[in-house]
Amino acid sequence: MIKTLMMKRVFYSLMIVLFIGALARSAYFYTSLKTNVDALNATSSMIQDVLSQRGLLDSFTHVINNLFSILMIETATFFASVVALIFLLWFIFRLYLIEHSNALIDPLTGIYNRRAIMLSLDHEKTRAERFNHKLSAAVIDVDFFKNYNDLNGHKAGDKALKKVAKIVDKSMRRTDFFGRIGGEEFMIVFPETKLSDAQKLCERIRLNVLNADIDFEENMPQKALTISIGVAEMQDSEIKHHNSDVFDQADKQLYIAKLAGRNCVR
């Protein structure tokens, strides 16, 4: 009985202690929360007070506006730089293309210049040697062209040279290379072509020039502007000993064509 009473007293005492503890804890929590909220409110109203003071808010807005303007200017500058860079790259690329074509194209006729056609010949010689293929070349010379110039003037001579180059270019296969080696002389490189085939192609080219309508050709002694062509095929000895190249051989053949009376293929 006494034990039960004692137990009850301990229980009630414990409950009272717990109740007082919880009350004290709640009071502490309430007080600290209230203090924090008050502090926050005080801070916020202080900021508002500071900002709403005359001039301060204005200068704050001004600073924000300035920052925004700077951002806009920087963005615009960035895009302008990108556009300028793209334009510059395009310009450099165009210059490169012009320089590149100037280095390889003859300005009068628009076909390969001497440098380009000689490079093509060298390249094709190496290929022919490597794969054991045939290779032929032709040298073309306009007949009595000094005569044509003397009769019709240098300007008409230029025009006639352009026309001859155009006719030859149109008469060729797309796999062949054609260039002006200087003055009124041209060269064709025929990859993978034996001598007899190259001669047939050259005969067709000669006829096309003979039959074309070229200004003032009726004033020429032979009543037409004609070409002579020397053709040669690359020889094994040339590959092995690097002597007398196909170009020299074609040039010799051209000389023979001239001696044979011009307007012919040899």
Q: Does residue 38 interact with ligand GH3 by CB under 6 A?
A: no
Q: Does residue 229 interact with ligand GH3 by CB under 6 A?
A: no
Given the residues 99, 124, 184, 233, select the one marked as catalytic: 184
Contacts of 189 (CB under 8 A, 6+ apart): 117, 120, 121, 124, 135, 136, 137, 176, 177, 178
Task: Give the residue with the Cβ less far from ligand GH3, 156 or 207.
Answer: 156
**What CA–CA distance (Å, rounded) separates 260 from 3?**
151
Q: In whole angstroms, how large is the CA radius of gyration of the chain?
A: 48
**What CA–CA distance (Å, rounded) separates 199 from 214?**
24
Q: Does residue 262 interact with ligand GH3 by CB under 6 A?
A: yes
Contacts of 136 (CB under 8 A, 6+ apart): 189, 190, 193, 194, 195, 197, 198, 231, 232, 233, 234, 246
185 an active-site residue?
Answer: no
Which residue, chain included where needed, has tokens 């690359």? 234
Task: Give the residue with the Cβ less far from ligand GH3, 149 or 235.
Answer: 149
Q: By CB under 6 A, name the one of 127, 154, 173, 194 that touches ligand GH3.
A: 154
Q: Does residue 184 interact with ligand GH3 by CB under 6 A?
A: yes
Q: Does residue 142 interact with ligand GH3 by CB under 6 A?
A: yes
**What CA–CA distance (Å, rounded) separates 26 from 33?**
10
Hey, which residues between 127 and 166 contact Mg ion (CB under 5 A)?
141-142, 145
Number of residues that bind Mg ion (CB under 5 A): 5
Q: Does residue 62 interact with ligand GH3 by CB under 6 A?
A: no
End-to-end CA distance of the chain: 147
- Residue 152 interacts, among Mg ion, ligand GH3, none and using kind-specific CB cut-offs from 5 to 8 Å, with none
In terms of DSSP H, where are the helices of the chain?
2-52, 56-104, 114-131, 145-152, 154-171, 195-211, 236-241, 246-259
- Stretch of residues binding ligand GH3 (CB under 6 A), selected from 36-44, 83-91, 111-119, 146-154: 146-154
Q: What angle do CA 108, 110, 114 make, to 5 degrees?
A: 80
Beta bridge partners of 141: 185, 228
Q: What angle do CA 13, 14, 19 make, to 5 degrees?
A: 100
- Stretch of residues binding ligand GH3 (CB under 6 A), selected from 53-61, 69-77, 126-134, 136-144: 136-144
Nearest to 245 by CA among 254, 258, 232, 257: 232
- Stretch of residues binding ligand GH3 (CB under 6 A), selected from 25-33, 88-96, 147-155, 232-240: 147-155
Hey, which residues between 89 and 128 contact ligand GH3 (CB under 6 A)?
108
Task: Give the residue with the Cβ less far from Mg ion, 145 or 178.
Answer: 145
- Residue 161 interacts, among ligand GH3, Mg ion, none and using kind-specific CB cut-offs from 5 to 8 Å, with ligand GH3
Minimum distance from residue 148 beta carbon to ligand GH3 (Å): 8
Minimum distance from residue 215 beta carbon to ligand GH3 (Å): 12
Catalytic residue set: 184
Interface residues toward ligand GH3, by CB under 6 A:
108, 141-147, 149, 154, 157-158, 161, 183-184, 258, 262
